[in-house]
Amino acid sequence: MSDKIFNSYSNPIPSIRYDIQRISIEENGQPLIYFYDQLGYATSDFALPADAEPILSLMDGTRSVNDIIKFSSDEVNKDQILEYAQFLDGHRLLDSPFFHDFSDEFEAEYEQQSIHTSSTAGSSYPTNPKELKEFFNQAFTSHEQSEPVASAKGLYTPHIDLRVGMETYVKAFSAIKNLTPKKVFVLATSHYTGLYGDFYDNKRFIFSSKDFDLTNGTVKSDKNAISLIKEQTVHDEIFGTSFHDRAHRIENSIELPLLFLNHIWKQDVEIIPVVISGFDELFYAKDGFLAHQIEAFSYLLSQQFNDDDTFFLISGDLAHFGKKFGDSEPASKLMDDVRTFDDSFMQAASLNDTNKLLRIIGDDYDPFRICGFPPIYTFLNAFPDLTGKILHHQIWDEKERESAVSIGSVIFT
């Protein structure tokens, strides 16, 4: 046993990790508590009998083994409670020194790797390259395609599950299939920076220099360009950059659009992959520190990547609404409001009206959780003279969960 595993009768037992989801399931007629760790630290497929809930509720970070024994039956002794706490700690379920050492080492190991291995392969598309090619060929045959453009600077595209967003994906990527850029700057939503506590405090733009190993080919990163950006920005907080890329490890917002680039383009391209954390501060302080970070970072993009060889891929979905996302009403009752909201958002984006875009999002503090706002707002601030054309909009209605997600695509020429 590691010497960091919890081992005390008198000290408080560390609480169950706040970022672990406990889900009630049933297997072979037995009720279970399934522990889902989206960051992948805990033992996978870990579950406990449902009758463990009372003792789990007592492990709130304030009670010791000596305290918990007072709530237990005479059949349970202190050693058994300690062993149970150690069992949970060993599976990385407690917010303990052992867990923090493990997670730090786990993330450091990822950061040292030169390859980003796909976290989405097999979940919504085939893992076999030949099957994936057939999957894409079928999709581009069965869905309406856009007229290919002769030139473009950027594409706003979803990163939703391919099985529910293919209509929009096809409209988006068919529009750029004839382009031949040498470099793709990817600005994508970051879904997980908040799970890293203050690790990314004031770091909004998180780079990775890894090559992305995907089912239909490896996409290499432009390490020279990323190194240059690092030299220019890492010592000045006004740019808000980070080159600790652990936020990329389980992220899907870059992987999924890259699959389409691999499919439609024959030429090799290098990428500069960046995930962008939330811009909520803008809603409260439109001229605060975050606004100046966005201005500085956008200026860097406009000065160094405004050339014919660089294409921008902006990855973001639109509204997330309904009961799964915290709304009191089901998605079905919000559909009309969301369509109106999405239309205003996409129109403002296509016209490159950043003031209106911020007003639409910020007036009610992002009422429909538009996850694509940070990347598209950054792109538009970098290239204020560009205008776009809306290609598609659709809503995935998850009726059984009374929730929905909307997506869309815009081409900027």
pLDDT tens figures, 213-256: 999 999 999 999 999 999 999 999 999 999 999 999 999 999 99
Total domains in the fold of the chain: 2
Q: Which of 104, 136, 167 is the last residue of a domain?
A: 104
In this predicted structure, which of 48-57, 165-174, 348-357, 380-389 has the lowest mean pLDDT? 48-57
Mean pLDDT, residues 78-107: 96
Judged on CB neighbours under 10 Å (0-12, 13-18, 19+), 32 is middle
Residues 351, 256 share a domain: yes
CA geometry: angle 216, 221, 225, nearest 5 deg = 155
One-letter identity of residue 259: L
Mean pLDDT, residues 104-122: 95
The first and second tokens of residue 15, run together, are: 């609480």
Q: Which domain holds residue 273?
A: 116-412
Q: Which of 104, 127, 142 is the last residue of a domain?
A: 104
Among 352, 366, 355, 241, which Cα is nearest to 296's? Answer: 241
- What are the tens digits of pLDDT across the range 212-223? 999 999 999 999
**Which DSSP category does 109 fall into?**
H
Residue 14 inside a domain? The answer is: no
Residues 142, 262 share a domain: yes
Question: In the prediction, which pLDDT does 289 show?
Answer: 97
Residue 229 inside a domain? The answer is: yes
Q: Is residue 142 within a helix (H) or strand (E), and if so which, with residue range?
A: helix 129-142
CA geometry: angle 245, 98, 75, nearest 5 deg = 140
At 280, the pLDDT band (50, 70, 90 cuts) reads very high
Q: Is the pLDDT reported for residue 1 higher than 80?
A: no
CA geometry: angle 251, 307, 411, nearest 5 deg = 55
d(CA 167, CA 198): 38
Question: In the prediction, which pLDDT does 3 show?
Answer: 67
Question: In the prediction, which pLDDT does 179 show?
Answer: 98
Residues 136, 94 share a domain: no
Judged on CB neighbours under 10 Å (0-12, 13-18, 19+), 307 is exposed
Residues 277, 146 share a domain: yes
At 360, the pLDDT band (50, 70, 90 cuts) reads very high
Percentage above 90 pLDDT, the chain = 95
Q: Is the pLDDT reported for residue 53 higher than 70?
A: yes
Mean pLDDT, residues 39-49: 94
The reported pTM is: 0.93
Question: In the prediction, which pLDDT does 358 show?
Answer: 97
Residue 4 inside a domain? The answer is: no
The first and second tokens of residue 268, run together, are: 């090799």
The first and second tokens of residue 278, run together, are: 């939330």
Residues 219, 178 share a domain: yes
Q: Which of 61, 81, 104 is the last residue of a domain?
A: 104
